[in-house]
Amino acid sequence: MKLDRLKAELEKARQKAAEWQARIKDIERQITEQENLEIVQAVRSVTASPEELQKILGMIQSMKELPQNKLTQKEETDQNEEE
Please check whether residues 20 and 56 belong to one and the same domain.
no
76 vs 58, more confident: 58
Distance CA 77, CA 73 (A): 6
Please check whether residues 37 and 54 belong to one and the same domain.
no
Distance CA 76, CA 57 (A): 29
Please check whether residues 55 and 72 belong to one and the same domain.
yes
72 vs 21, more confident: 21
Please check whether residues 34 and 68 belong to one and the same domain.
no
Please check whether residues 33 and 58 belong to one and the same domain.
no
Helix, strand, coil percentages, rounded to 5, for the chain: 95, 0, 5
Structural domains of the chain, count: 2
Domain span at residue 25 reads 1-45
Q: What is the mean pLDDT of residues 55-79?
A: 73
62 vs 13, more confident: 13
Distance CA 72, CA 68 (A): 6
Answering whether pTM is above 0.85, one says no
Q: What is the pLDDT of residues 5-52, one digit of tens each?
A: 999 999 999 999 999 999 999 999 999 999 999 999 988 888 888 899
Please check whether residues 41 and 67 belong to one and the same domain.
no
Q: What are phi and psi of 57, to 5 degrees?
A: -65, -35
Please check whether residues 1 and 37 belong to one and the same domain.
yes
